Amino acid sequence: MEGTLVMGCSSCHDRAAKLFKNRSKGTMYHGDLTIKDEPFSIMNVVKQGVFWSVHLACLAVIWVGFSWVAFAVCIALYVIRMFAITGAYHRYFSHRSYETSRWFQFVLAVLGTTAAQKGPIWWASHHRHHHRHSDTEEDIHSPIVHGIYFAHIGWVLSSQFIEPRLDLVKDLTKYRELRILEKYNVVPAILLGVATFFLGVYLQHAFPTLGTNGWQMLVWGFFVSTVLLYHGTFCINSFTHLIGKRRFPSTDHSRNHWLLALITLGEGWHNNHHYYPGSERQGFYWWEIDVSHYILKTLSWFGLVWDLRVPPARVYEAAGKLT
């Protein structure tokens, strides 16, 4: 039923039961070849420790206080890095929905790593896998099959998906600079955190009336912004297959939702995207707000990106027949 929460079905329950059985045996699922899930491996423990530490660091707002300038930096870095995820990691590296130069491709990749969501090779490989198997047992973050927690955050914390699916991103691994960035993907995020701290230190001494300092800027500008960015991105995995309206009869449960589109700069038009993932713009109509599309369109005026792919006429014809 459109506009309502997707309810379970017998086939979904059967799939979930099968997955639970596989997990209880400690074996890998989703078609991977890894023999065993290792939640207590050193790599996974470190990964989870860092992930939850970023969340806990947000509690420091109690001690560092609030200032409008720190809040403004928080929002600005959220928007910039959300574009890096949606406009670069998703629409470019995952779907190649527009073209750009090699040097600007690297700029987009570096910007994406500041979001602390690993590198473009890892991100794109798992996203391409998701599109191949959307809302089936093979889908790594389907709330229909695996439940909302696993779709939202559980798969990110699992040891099963630490490595990229290199067979799906051979078009990316041919670039040496992307391979190096993938290996050191945490560095840009760390440097951003350091930069926010020293920005606060500078503002404290140059403009003391702003009421900020290094620690306050670090907490609000980096930690709070990053956590909001995490869950804004994750909402697409978990909620856009559960709530909203379906314009197109896609083979999965993808849905369009205006609020999620606002939060994620346009990614909430998820049913549009799953019906025709090759389009750069995901808001197919002028009233479907798609901020990432507006930014990419602006960049195209300066020659930084080009060949922004649009839905063909047949997509709009199909939408007309279905409304």
Per-residue pLDDT tens over the stretch 46-65: 888 899 999 999 999 999 99
Helix boundaries (H) for 61-161:
61-64, 68-83, 102-113, 120-132, 143-146, 148-149, 155-157
- Among residues 229, 230, 202, 231, which one has the least CA distance to residue 216? 202
pTM of the full predicted structure? 0.87
Average predicted confidence (pLDDT) for the chain: 87
CA distance 136 to 133: 6
- The SS3 assignment for 301 reads helix
Phi and psi torsions of 101, nearest 5°: -80, 165
Sign of CA dihedral 181, 186, 187, 192: positive
Express as a percent the part of the chain with pLDDT over 70.
Answer: 87
The whole-number average pLDDT for the span 223-244 is 95
> What residue ranges do the domains of the chain occupy?
63-137+163-322
The whole-number average pLDDT for the span 30-34 is 46
Among 16-25, 178-187, 207-216, 305-314, the least confident range: 16-25
User: β-strand 99-100 against 305-306: which pairing, if any?
Assistant: antiparallel
- Whether the predicted pLDDT of 269 surpasses 90: yes
- Whether the predicted pLDDT of 170 surpasses 90: yes
Other Cβ atoms within 10 Å of 208 Cβ, number:
10
pLDDT at 146: 87
- Whether the predicted pLDDT of 296 surpasses 70: yes
- Whether the predicted pLDDT of 74 surpasses 80: yes
Per-residue pLDDT tens over the stretch 103-153: 999 999 999 999 999 999 999 999 999 988 888 888 888 888 888 998 899
CA distance 38 to 29: 13
